[in-house]
Structure 1
Amino acid sequence: MAYGVISHMKAKEVFRVKQSHGKGIVEIVIWQVPTPVPPSEHPYKYRLVYVVNGKWVVGYDNERGKGDHKHLGDTELPYGFVSPQQLMADFMADVKGVEQ
Structure 2
Amino acid sequence: MNTDFLLNERHIISESAFVELAVRPVPSPHSVGRPLFEYRLSLFVKGKCVLCHGSEAVEGDPEPTGKGLVSCVFTSPEALLSHFWNDVDQWRT
Gaps of 5+ in 2: 58-63
1:54 correspondence with 2:47: yes
Coordinate RMSD, CA, aligned: 2.9
The two structures have a TM-score, normalised by structure 1, of: 0.68
1:42-78 deviations in Å (ceiling 9; x for gaps): 21011110000112111111126xxxxxx68244444
Higher Rg: 1
Q: Paired residue for 1:12?
A: 4
2:52·2:70 contact (CA, 8 Å) conserved in 1? no
- Percent identical among aligned pairs is 26
Q: Give the partner amino acid of 2:8.
A: R
Cα distance in 2, alignment partners of residues 18 and 12 from structure 1: 16
Alignment partner of 1:95 is 2:88 = yes
Report which of the two has the higher share of helix.
Answer: 1
Partner-residue secondary structure (3-state), 2:10:
strand
- Report how many residues are paired: 86
* Cross-structure match for 1:4: none
